[in-house]
Amino acid sequence: MRTPDQILGPFFPQGSKPVTQGDLTTVEGGDGPAQGEIIEVTGRVLDLDGKPVRGAALTIWQANTFGRYAHPNDFNPAPLDPNFVGFADIRSGDDGAYQIKTVKPGPYPVGPDWMRAPHIHIEVLGRLNA
């Protein structure tokens, strides 16, 4: 079954350069690993017939372990983590598989009485010329 179209999630990164190796837990020139529980996210991109999509472009972004995005419009008072990128552009492999190493994102407030559950945004574009 086809995944339904959705709007682009909040706090899409602006002015930052995505990592391309799929590891969001280290920053070049940083002084250590990202804070929080390190997790690995894996999946496969399949076409409508269930066949793997080789070379699909995936853009991934998320809040850090404290529930804060590195975005100018995120007014959450939670701390930023200087050792966490939170933004990646990767491609699926020959079998449609992808993986990232990241931190478990934290929940964040979206109103006075509501916390948004931890989640990771993934935008998938069909196969691009590699």
- Catalytic site residues? 69, 108, 116, 119, 121
SS3 123: strand
> Is the separation of the CB atoms in 122 and 129 below 8 Å?
no
Beta strands in 1-130 (DSSP E): 38-44, 56-62, 87-91, 97-103, 108-111, 114-116, 120-127
